[in-house]
Every structure is written in C-alpha cells, then in structure tokens.
A and B are shown apart, each in its own frame.
Chain A
C-alpha cells in the first residue's frame, strides 16, 4: 500500500491532473456549462425571472423574419469583410518595416503595440474627438486637402467606416507582433540566396516572406475573423449602434435582447447563429489551408 502510494506520487500523470484541475474546473464551470446551457436556452423563451418555456425552433424561425437581425447580420459581415483584410495587410507591411535594422526600432514597435494594451474606453474617447466634425483632427487634416469631411459618427453612411478605422488601428499591433515573430523565424539564407540571384526587395517579399509566413497568416486570419465577428466594445463605446442602427452588430443586438428586452432565449439563439457562422468560416479556412499544404 505504502509502496503503491509512493510510486503514484512519483508518477507525472496524477500530478499533471491535480495541477491542471483549477483551469479544467474553470473550463467546465465558466465555459462548457454556459455553452451547453445557452444552446438549450436557445430553444426556450426565458426572461431570466419567470419560468422557462420550451418553444422548439421558434426563436430561430423568428430570427430570419426579424429585419433588425438581418440588418445587424449584414453590418457584422460588412465589418468583417473590411477590417480583416485591411488590418492584415497593414500589419504585415508594418511587421516587415519594423524588422529592419533602424535606430529606435524598439520605440517604434512599442508605439504600434500601445493601442493593443490601451483601454478601449480611453481609446473611444480620443477617437470621438478625432471624428468630431467641427473640432476634430480628422476633418482638420481633410480640410488641408480641400475635402469637407463628413460628421463621421452621426452619418448613417460614415459611422461604420469610422468604427472600422478605430478597430483596425486598435488591433494592428497585435497582428504585427505575431507577423514579426513569424518573419524572424524565416532563415536568413533564403534572402542571401535571393540576393545572389539579384532579386529585388519586392520579389523577395512576394516569393520568400509571404509563402513562408503562411502558417502565421493563417493563424492571424482565423483569429481576426473570430474577433471581428464578435466586435462589441468599439461599437458600444463609439456609437451605441446608431445612428439608425447603422453600426449595430450581432453581439450588440444580442446584448440588447438578453439584458434590455428580457429575451434571453432569443439572444441565445443569436449566439448560436454567430457560433455556426464562425465555425463555418473557420472550417473553410482549415480546408483551404490544408489544400495548400498538399
């Protein structure tokens, strides 16, 4: 018996389990349970206070007849379609630029990373000022070029681009950092060989950097798409979804339904639509990535 305990204590398996227990428990209580619960809730009508009522697929059917839901779904897709590619391209170029041996390089890297660690609340306050049609920095700069800037956050056509610009700016540093790590993992010998062949900077970028960064790009793209499908704080802080719901996105409408309109079941159904959307996009990307690997 004693011997058995001794060997058990010397084995790694049980220890690993014990040490992992806090996060495993956390996962079960705070992730898995709510995930399963909200799936079941999506088939019910529940306001958090009165007894739960089973309604079957009614919430899902209602969703596709809800014109506000269709609108926020489009807004979400629009937001993703613009912010993901632009954000990735800019951060890739930044990463390449910040991989040069120039003076104060650490300062520049830190400067681009700063927005990532800044509080969105503070960022939103600054950008609200930048976007101000009368006193704002953006319209001042535009006016130097003779352009009469719109009233960014109160125009139904310009409010969404404004939110996008802020979001791209905020997320740039994170993607840049991952690209930078990826670039530094590429062996110098490829570039030396290319130099001998007389390749230009652009050719080296297209034929060495981009292909060898593919796993990194894949990771960044998956994360960026997931992140932008779930955008909430930028919208909530800059425009509250307005004007005329032109910047309201899925998670914002979900929040309103759950906590303002007393429709937790309906909100859960929305969460699952969002989940399947993200799952579909992610699987498509995995398939595409695999095909390239072959």
Chain B
C-alpha cells in the first residue's frame, strides 16, 4: 500500500513539474456595436518603435474618416507572434484584423481561419496594381485572404567613406549594371584591412544569412522548390556554386563569422556605421535605421551570379473568419494597404511600395525622401518592383526552413562539404514533404 502512495506521489510530482501547460480562453472577440459604433480588435507586432507610431497615426486618421469604427490596437513582440495568434484563434479569441507574416499566410489560410476577401478586393482593388511579388504572395489560387502591406528585399549597403579611402568606385545601384561576383570579391578584398594577424576591417558581411543565400541561389538560376512546392530542388550545381563562392569569401578573411557579429553586441548596421565592415547584405528595411546613423550610406543591387535579382515579401493584413464585422474589417484592411498609409513608412526607409503607381516617376516623388534615400537610390527602384516572390512565402511548412538552416549551419560553421549538406537537405526536406 505504501508503495502505491509513493508511486502516486512521484507521479503527481513529475506531472505537475512537466506538464503545467495551460489553456486559457479569453473572452471572444468583436466588440458590441453600441450607438452604431463598431470596435475592431487589431493585432500587430512591434517591428520598430517608428512602425508602431506610424500604425497609431494611421489608426487615428482612419477613425477620423470612419466615425462609426473604433480600432483597438495591440502590438505584441515579434518573436512569438505567430504562436500567439495561433493560440488566440484556438481559444476563439482571435483579433478581427491582424498582421500576418508572408511565410505564415499560407499555413493559416490552409486551416480556414482567414476571411475570404476576394469579393471585397475585386470590387475595389485590382491585383495588377500591385507589383508581381506582392500580388504573387497575396493570391492563393486566384483568391485573396490578406492584402499585402508593402515590400522589402535584400540589398547591398555600403559605407561610402571606406570606398573613398580605398579608392574604389561604388557598387552600381542600377540592377542592369550590377557587379559580377568577381567584381564583388575584388572589392571585398580591397576593403579588408589587417593589423598584423588581426582583421580590423572586413570587406563584407551577410551573404550567409539564410534569406540572402537564397537570393544568391535564385540569381544563379537555381531554385529551392519545384513548381507546386511538394519537393525541394535545392541540390543542384547552381546552389553548390553559390555556397562555395560565399564560403570562399569567408575563408579568405574578407567576411567575419556570422555569429561572431551577433554576439559582439553590435548590430550589423552598427558594424557598417563604425567602419568595421565595408559592405552589408541586409533587408531594405534597415535603411530606416542606417539613414539616422550619420554616415554616408550607399544602397546598391546585390552582386549577380547569372542575373541581377532579389526577392520580395512583406507581411499581409488579414481578417479572422470569426469576425462579427467583416465589412468594417475590410474597410480597415483597405486603408492599411492604401497609398496614403504606406507613404509615411516608405519615406522613413522602412518599407518599399507594393503599388505599381508608386513606381512611376510621379509616384516616386510622393515618397522619395532626400534625408533618407541616398541620391543613387532612384536607380535601384526597379529592383524592388521586379523582385521575385520569396519562395518561403509560398512554402507552407515552417519546419522546412529550420531543416535547411540547421544543415547550412554545418556547412558554414562545421566545415562539412557542400555535397553532403545539399544531399542531406534534399533527403530530409523531401521526407518532411512526404509526411
């Protein structure tokens, strides 16, 4: 008998320590419509204080134009945003309107939790008014479940001072004149400065960041997935060539260890600002921060392998299928995708426009901001407009990215040969797709 009591005690102890998971149900969404005023719950993440501020300003403008709609905004930390949204939906407490990352859009849509906006969209907007990468992400088999907010793409930033000191010409902003990989490595070599054995200034940094490596693969006319996204096609000579090229730059000492930077307590932007690196591959959103850093920053097209290209993606604004106010939700989503709302954030350097109307000469005048955008930036504009759809915005399985990053880590940091890595990725990812 005592044995059983002891066993029970142990079980209770172990249980209570391990599985204290809790399921909380918040009160269901959708505020009541007292006096005809409808309250919309709106959730987003905090990408930067500036973005949050712009969102709040936007909401004020929207409420002014729509006195019958009140918007209650809740920003949550970006890291676990999708998990948070998922649990809220499971608890029947989803916000009416919310941000949704491009890479989560299709996995949520598949599960029937996003309001079908196709009718509204077709009545008032036209998919052809959006740039191809934004349109390609929004449209799922011809239907719309979220409207693209903007676009962002990896680009090449450089510190003009370091180029002047080394007496090298700046990398071209015009994508048609983008540097070849050889020209890029040559510049990286010239920008690398050593003091004895220690490198005091690195030529470049950022190509081994996953999203940027993917751009390199696409530029070399390789691909990541097959056309219907049921298998990976990453194991190709094109990919291998790109991986080896990036690794060579690292091995020659032109580029610091990626994680070394992360751990230095200095952001990559700060490294560029303080002249620790000459060229930085980073998303276009970084311009907002870089432009405020008080150093001559330049923005250029990435070096090309075969073709000069980049990828585009950005979060979408979607509504919950359970919202009690679909009409009002649509009004708000429409406002969030409007030129009027985008322009502020584009002028600040954080976003790039997703509307073709903002890529005409007149359109550019509306957002171009000489305090933020360097003069050569105008030449780079077509680069964003013609960006390819980021393949990870279309892929529905989040574990695929993690597998690829895990295997590539072994290539960057563990010295494992690229053939093995690519074969591993192919096998493991295709197994995952087959499940």
* Interface positions of A (Cβ within 8 A of B): 27, 30-32, 34-35, 37-38, 47-50, 62, 67-68, 128-129, 131-136, 151, 153-156, 226-227, 230, 242-245, 256, 259-262, 271, 274-275, 278-279, 282-283, 286
Q: In chain A, what residue has the closest Cβ to B23? A: A34
- Is B10's CB under 8 angstroms from A262's CB? no
Q: Is B107 an interface residue (CB 8 A)?
A: yes
- Is B111's CB under 8 angstroms from A50's CB? yes
User: Which B residues from 394 to 426 make CB contacts under 8 A with A?
Assistant: 397-399, 402-403, 405-407, 409-410, 413-414
Q: Which of the candidate stretches B46-54, B81-89, B156-164, B219-227 sits at the interface with the other chain?
A: B81-89
Q: Is B370 an interface residue (CB 8 A)?
A: no
Known: A48-B86, A67-B428. A275 touches B80 (CB 8 A): no
Tell which of A37, A67, A226, A260 touches B17, judged by Cβ atoms closer than 8 Å: A226
- Is B89's CB under 8 angstroms from A48's CB? yes
- Is B10's CB under 8 angstroms from A283's CB? yes
Give Cα A256 to B399, complex, Å: 9
Give Cα A48 to B398, complex, Å: 16
Tell which of B7, B82, B257 touches A260, judged by Cβ atoms closer than 8 Å: B82
- Is B22's CB under 8 angstroms from A30's CB? yes
- Is B111's CB under 8 angstroms from A154's CB? no
Q: In chain B, what residue has the closest Cβ to A152? A: B263
Task: Give chain B residues whose Cβ lies under 8 Å from the Cβ of A34.
Answer: 19-23
Task: Give chain B residues whose Cβ lies under 8 Å from the Cβ of A151.
Answer: 257, 259-260, 263
Residue from A155, A230, A256, A260 having most chain B Cβ neighbours under 10 A: A260
- Is A154's CB under 8 angstroms from B264's CB? no
- Is B409's CB under 8 angstroms from A35's CB? no
A sample of 19 inter-chain contacts (CB < 8 A) reads: A31-B15, A34-B19, A34-B23, A38-B21, A49-B112, A50-B111, A62-B435, A129-B263, A134-B264, A226-B17, A244-B406, A244-B409, A256-B399, A260-B399, A261-B397, A262-B398, A278-B18, A279-B11, A279-B14
List 8 tightest A-B contacts by C-beta distance, closest first. A154-B259, A244-B409, A259-B83, A48-B90, A49-B111, A243-B409, A244-B410, A132-B263
Tell which of B15, B19, B399 touches A261, judged by Cβ atoms closer than 8 Å: B399
- Is A243's CB under 8 angstroms from B17's CB? no
A121 to chain B, nearest CB (A): 12
B410 to chain A, nearest CB (A): 5
Q: Is B113 an interface residue (CB 8 A)?
A: yes
Q: In chain B, what residue has the closest Cβ to A34? A: B21
Q: In chain A, what residue has the closest Cβ to B198? A: A134
Q: Is B6 an interface residue (CB 8 A)?
A: yes
Give Cα A31 to B14, complex, Å: 11
- Is B14's CB under 8 angstroms from A244's CB? no
Q: In chain B, what residue has the closest Cβ to A47? A: B111
Q: What is the interface size of chain B, counting residues whose CB is below 8 A from a CB of the partner?
A: 49
Q: Is B265 an interface residue (CB 8 A)?
A: yes
Task: Give chain B residues whose Cβ lies under 8 Å from the Cβ of A275.
Answer: 14-15, 18-19
Task: Give chain A residues whose Cβ lies under 8 Å from the Cβ of B111.
Answer: 47, 49-50, 262
- Is A282's CB under 8 angstroms from B428's CB? no
- Is B18's CB under 8 angstroms from A155's CB? no
Known: A31-B19, A153-B259. A242 touches B409 (CB 8 A): yes
Task: Give chain B residues whose Cβ lies under 8 Å from the Cβ of A155.
Answer: 413
Known: A38-B21, A154-B257. A49 touches B113 (CB 8 A): yes
Task: Give chain A residues whose Cβ lies under 8 Å from the Cβ of B10.
Answer: 279, 282-283, 286
Q: Is B258 an interface residue (CB 8 A)?
A: yes
Q: Is B123 an interface residue (CB 8 A)?
A: no
Q: In chain B, what residue has the closest Cβ to A239? A: B259
Give Cα A256 to B80, complex, Å: 11
A229 to chain B, nearest CB (A): 8
Tell which of B19, B263, B397, B409 touches A153, judged by Cβ atoms closer than 8 Å: B263
B251 to chain A, nearest CB (A): 15
Tell which of B19, B108, B397 touches A271, judged by Cβ atoms closer than 8 Å: B19
Q: Is B27 an interface residue (CB 8 A)?
A: no
Task: Give chain A residues whose Cβ lies under 8 Å from the Cβ of B402.
Answer: 256
- Is B406's CB under 8 angstroms from A271's CB? no
Give Cα A48 to B14, complex, Å: 26
Task: Give chain A residues whose Cβ lies under 8 Å from the Cβ of B19.
Answer: 31, 34-35, 38, 271, 275
Task: Give chain B residues whose Cβ lies under 8 Å from the Cβ of A27.
Answer: 16
A47 to chain B, nearest CB (A): 6
Task: Give chain B residues whose Cβ lies under 8 Å from the Cβ of A31.
Answer: 15-16, 19-20
Q: In chain A, what residue has the closest Cβ to B80? A: A259
Known: A133-B263, A244-B406, A256-B402. A154 touches B14 (CB 8 A): no
B1 to chain A, nearest CB (A): 15
- Is B259's CB under 8 angstroms from A244's CB? no
B281 to chain A, nearest CB (A): 19
- Is B86's CB under 8 angstroms from A262's CB? yes
Task: Give chain B residues whose Cβ lies under 8 Å from the Cβ of A35.
Answer: 15, 19
Give Cα A47 to B13, complex, Å: 29
Known: A279-B14, A283-B10. A131 touches B263 (CB 8 A): yes
Tell which of B6, B15, B86, B397 touches A49, judged by Cβ atoms closer than 8 Å: B86
- Is A262's CB under 8 angstroms from B21's CB? no
Tell which of B20, B83, B262, B399 touches A30, judged by Cβ atoms closer than 8 Å: B20
Tell which of A32, A154, A283 touches B413, judged by Cβ atoms closer than 8 Å: A154
Known: A34-B20, A38-B21, A244-B406. A48 touches B257 (CB 8 A): no
A240 to chain B, nearest CB (A): 10
- Is B414's CB under 8 angstroms from A244's CB? yes
Task: Give chain A residues whose Cβ lies under 8 Å from the Cβ of B107.
Answer: 262
- Is A128's CB under 8 angstroms from B87's CB? no
- Is B413's CB under 8 angstroms from A132's CB? no
User: Which B residues from 234 to 277 make CB contacts under 8 A with A?
Assistant: 257-260, 262-265
Task: Give chain B residues whose Cβ lies under 8 Å from the Cβ of A32.
Answer: 15
Known: A243-B409, A274-B18. A135 touches B83 (CB 8 A): no
Task: Give chain A residues whose Cβ lies under 8 Å from the Cβ of B258.
Answer: 154
Task: Give chain B residues whose Cβ lies under 8 Å from the Cβ of A49.
Answer: 86, 89-90, 108, 111-113
Task: Give chain A residues whose Cβ lies under 8 Å from the Cβ of B108.
Answer: 49
Q: In chain B, what residue has the closest Cβ to A50? A: B111
Q: In chain B, what residue has the closest Cβ to A281? A: B14
B2 to chain A, nearest CB (A): 11
A52 to chain B, nearest CB (A): 11
Q: In chain B, what residue has the closest Cβ to A285? A: B10
Known: A49-B90, A259-B83. A271 touches B399 (CB 8 A): no
Task: Give chain B residues whose Cβ lies under 8 Å from the Cβ of A242.
Answer: 405-406, 409
User: Which B residues from 87 to 136 make CB contacts under 8 A with A?
Assistant: 87, 89-90, 107-108, 111-113
- Is A244's CB under 8 angstroms from B263's CB? no
Task: Give chain B residues whose Cβ lies under 8 Å from the Cβ of A261.
Answer: 397-399
